Amino acid sequence: MHAQGLPHDAARHHRQALALYEEIGDRNGQARAHNGLAEHLHATGHPEPARRHHARALTLTFATQDSYEQARSHAGLGRTLDDLGDRDTAHEHWQSAHDLYAALEAPEADEARRLPRV
């Protein structure tokens, strides 16, 4: 929805999804919702809250072993940490994102490879 020019709707939907996934105990869904909300926050100029949501998603993905969402979390952390000036840690997350996406043969591996490096 953010891409359709409806940023407030996007944030609301991600928060609603997160609340529902938390209510039913779906950790995979929670990770997806955290990543979606984080991507929205980053796109609207809020890197610190975005970093926190990506970090929470990453923690959830370690428990669920969801490699795709784990890669998505790492990529998001790379972007937000770069914006926040922590280029070394951003690089580590981008590398992790690339490695996970490549192992999954996901098209995002090419994008992760093109992200800025230290």
The pLDDT value recorded for residue 118 is: 36
Backbone dihedral region for residue 47 (phi beyond 0: left; psi -120 to 50: alpha; all else: beta): alpha
The pLDDT value recorded for residue 117 is: 52
Q: Exposed, middle or buried, 74 (CB in 10 Å: 0-12/13-18/19+)?
A: buried
The gap from C-alpha 14 to its chain's centroid, in whole angstroms, comes to 13
The class of domain 7-114 in CATH terms is mainly alpha
> pLDDT tens, position by position, for the chain (118 residues)?
444 455 568 889 999 999 999 999 999 999 999 999 999 999 999 999 999 999 999 999 999 999 999 999 999 999 999 999 999 999 999 999 999 999 999 998 877 666 655 3
The pLDDT value recorded for residue 3 is: 46
In the block, which residue shows the tokens 């070394």? Answer: 88
Its pTM stands at 0.88
The pLDDT value recorded for residue 29 is: 97
The pLDDT value recorded for residue 2 is: 43
What is the domain partition of the chain in residue ranges? 7-114
